[in-house]
Chain A
């Protein structure tokens, strides 16, 4: 009787949904734990100065320079979209003198960092995850450990540090491009003069905004690298495992960026 009931329950949709949810939740906690563990390891290694300067430079070049075209394009195009939507309406409502202020606040506080984060995740994060995942499934990570080198310090430290160092530069450049393209778009779509745009551009902007923007950018950079490296590092099972690790890295990085952005908004602007 009990066995029949158990069998019946196991076939029910509620049981299947609930058990699937538990599996997903367990995987979520497992990934979170691994990211935290790797984060602690990286911080310890940085304090112990276990940093390979040559590798750090190579990773900085990869993170900052090679990602610039796509990052500038995405932030620039987002600024064009926003300016084309709001400039005309604001000029029509008599708020033309504040278009520059609105665009600058929006780009410096949010769009610059968050859109750069998404661009970097899709370009650099995915490449970091697939690189480490491939190294894992081809036993290269095992080879590092067998040779007596700490694989986490060797692989993670330069990548996480490069993210932390380069992301603020990328975000500053992207924000400048965004503000400039906002001016061009406002001129083209709403006939707003460059002078009117730039006169108000600095009005709502304070040093705090710049500081928070840089801090946010650095934390986004470090987080994207840490999550991507962790997902790649724990990959298993050949080509499919590499694909799964890359997808996981991108999804987790996107979610982490949004959550971190929310934390920054609550901490500094609430």
Chain B
């Protein structure tokens, strides 16, 4: 077990956004959480990495770091690419004396090479394209060798080729560091190319759990509506 979520409930004011959900993700497994906008997908990630507190339930994770790749990269715009990637190594209490400057430089180069962006250490995030920023945020996330990686809409807003590249990185990172990964997405290509299992959220509840192939079979009225992108079905758009 790397991540186990049990009976998780989260309310914002009086509105229940996550309503008693439970699931597990094993090491080396990629779980895709899908659903329409506003279904609570990103909230689940923020609850798992502790950015927001939950009201009841349990979140169990294995010892080690949790990393997150944010939807809009969330790179520190006042720092260079190298400083962004090495941020945790330089600023975290338990790591800041562990590495020398030369070692940090080497690690940054290695991570950049891993995401196919050699030689951009001194550039600032504003000088990079959206896809490149996303890849730098991948490099920053894996610098502490996490055993859990959370991806919040990693391919949203990217062109098809950049999306494919990002999806390949998710798969290769899974193999490389054997981390348990959760990918929040609503893009079919990301689901089919990266996920081992899929859960679908609607109105804060899990309405489908299975493999990407089972999702595509459309046996369930929710999956049918999601896959066909139909306005007719049990799910109503919020707002």
Residues of A within 8 A of B (CB): 50, 52, 135, 138-140, 142-149, 154
Contact = CB atoms under 8 A, between A and B. Distances in A.
B144 A143 contact: no
Given A148-B65, A149-B87, A143 B92 contact: no
A147 B92 contact: yes
B74 A143 contact: yes
A140 B51 contact: no
Nearest to A54: B90
Interface residues of B, number: 24
Contacts of B65: 148
Interface in B75-112: 75-77, 87-88, 91-95
Which of A52, A138, A139 has the most chain B CB atoms inside 10 A of its CB?
A: A139
Contacts of B70: 139, 142-143
Contact of B92 (A52, A138, A140, A149): A149
B72 A147 contact: no
B38 to A, nearest CB: 16
A52 B74 contact: no
Contacts of A143: 68, 70, 74-76, 140
- 3 closest pairs, A vs B, by CB? A139-B74, A143-B74, A147-B88
B195 interface: no
13 contacts: A50-B93, A52-B91, A138-B74, A140-B75, A140-B77, A142-B68, A146-B49, A146-B66, A147-B144, A148-B144, A149-B87, A149-B91, A154-B91
A146 B146 CA distance: 11
A146 B88 CA distance: 10
A140 B74 contact: yes
A147 B86 CA distance: 10
**Which of B67, B68, B72, B140 lies at the interface centre, i.e. has the most chain A CB atoms within 10 A of its CB?**
B68
Contacts of A52: 91
B78 to A, nearest CB: 8
Contacts of A135: 76
A147 B140 CA distance: 9
Contacts of B49: 146
A138 B72 contact: yes
Given A139-B74, A140-B74, 17 more contacts: A50-B93, A138-B72, A138-B74, A140-B76, A142-B51, A142-B74, A143-B76, A144-B76, A146-B49, A146-B66, A146-B67, A147-B67, A147-B88, A147-B91, A147-B144, A148-B92, A149-B91
Nearest to A134: B77
Most chain A beta carbons < 10 A, residue from B51, B70, B87, B91? B91
B88 to A, nearest CB: 4
A142 B51 CA distance: 7
Interface in B25-68: 46, 49-51, 65-68
A143 B138 CA distance: 12
Contacts of A149: 87-88, 91-92
Contacts of B87: 144, 147, 149
A151 to B, nearest CB: 10
Nearest to B88: A147
